[in-house]
Copies of this chain bind each other. A is one copy, B any other.
Amino acid sequence: MRQLSWRMVASAVVGLTVALEAVPWLLGWLQVGRQRRPRRDVLFFPSQVTCTEALLQAPGEAPAGPTGDCPCNLPHSESSLSHLLRALLAARVSLELCLFAFSNPQLGRAVRLLHQRGVRVRIITDCDYMALNGSQIGLLRKAGIQVWHDQDLGYMHHKFAIVDKKVLITGSLNWTTQAIQNNRENVLIMEDSEYVRLFLEEFERIWEEFNPAKYSFFPQKKQIC
């Protein structure tokens, strides 16, 4: 009888061990634990003014200085602007931009660089702001990038970007040098499928609505019949 109870205890221990061995597998199945943590950053502005040349060189461009670094006097450290540029330049397939104001030259260069690399860039903007001096919209259009705009009384006041349909970049920041260097601003960078889906739906809704075929200030010619 004594031998029997030892065997029962041993069997119970074996059963317990087998079940506990299954726990990591179960957690893996529930996608908990070891997977790469999705990106969740916040950038606050004003940004320190730093040199961003190294990030923005087009393929085949000669290095700016003799050592390959830009020889300018600005600090060559990271800043909120450089983090924002890096998040955008990570795009490989697509970039949706929905921006009230876009006049910062570095961000303009980054977007043109992505277009040159074959990333599909689509831009929605506000018709009032895009006509102002210093807007990047003309240069972006000249480069062959599609830009559609509102013709509403209200403003197209969003300030978001979607990178490769995986990362949402959104916040209070208009893409102007004034805002980047002087204002208190925030930008969230979120690798989050739920938020990306909702903002992408909003983008597609507006994209469809702002289709230039619907612009009323280019009135269709009346058919002669």
A contact residues vs B (CB 8 Å cutoff): 4, 7-16, 18-20, 23, 26-27, 30, 32, 40, 42, 44, 46, 98, 100, 150, 152-160, 170-173, 178-179, 181-186, 188, 194-195, 198-199, 202, 206
Q: How far is the CA of A85 from the CA of B169 in the complex (A)?
A: 25
Choose one: B8, B152, B157, B184; the contact of A206 (CB below 8 Å): B184
Q: Can you list 12 A-B pairs, Cβ within 8 angstroms, ordered by A? A: A13-B15, A18-B19, A27-B30, A42-B195, A44-B202, A98-B184, A157-B173, A157-B179, A157-B183, A160-B172, A186-B202, A188-B188
Inter-subunit contact B199/A186 (CB<8 Å): yes
Inter-subunit contact A158/B170 (CB<8 Å): no
The verdict on A185 contacting B157 (CB below 8 Å), with A8-B11, A32-B32 known, is yes
Distance from A156 Cβ to chain B, minimum over Cβ atoms (Å): 5
In the complex, what residues of B have CB within 8 A of residue A19's CB? 15-16, 18-20
Distance from A170 Cβ to chain B, minimum over Cβ atoms (Å): 7
Inter-subunit contact A158/B172 (CB<8 Å): yes
Inter-subunit contact B158/A184 (CB<8 Å): yes
How many copies of this chain sit in the oligomeric assembly?
2
Closest 5 CB pairs of A and B: A15-B15, A154-B182, A19-B19, A12-B15, A11-B11
Shortest Cβ distance from A3 into B: residue:
B4
In the complex, what residues of B have CB within 8 A of residue A185's CB? 157-158
In the complex, what residues of B have CB within 8 A of residue A42's CB? 195, 198-199
The verdict on A186 contacting B172 (CB below 8 Å), with A26-B23, A32-B30 known, is no
Q: How far is the CA of A185 from the CA of B26 in the complex (A)?
A: 41
Inter-subunit contact B184/A160 (CB<8 Å): no
Distance from A219 Cβ to chain B, minimum over Cβ atoms (Å): 24
Choose one: B16, B155, B170, B173; the contact of A186 (CB below 8 Å): B170
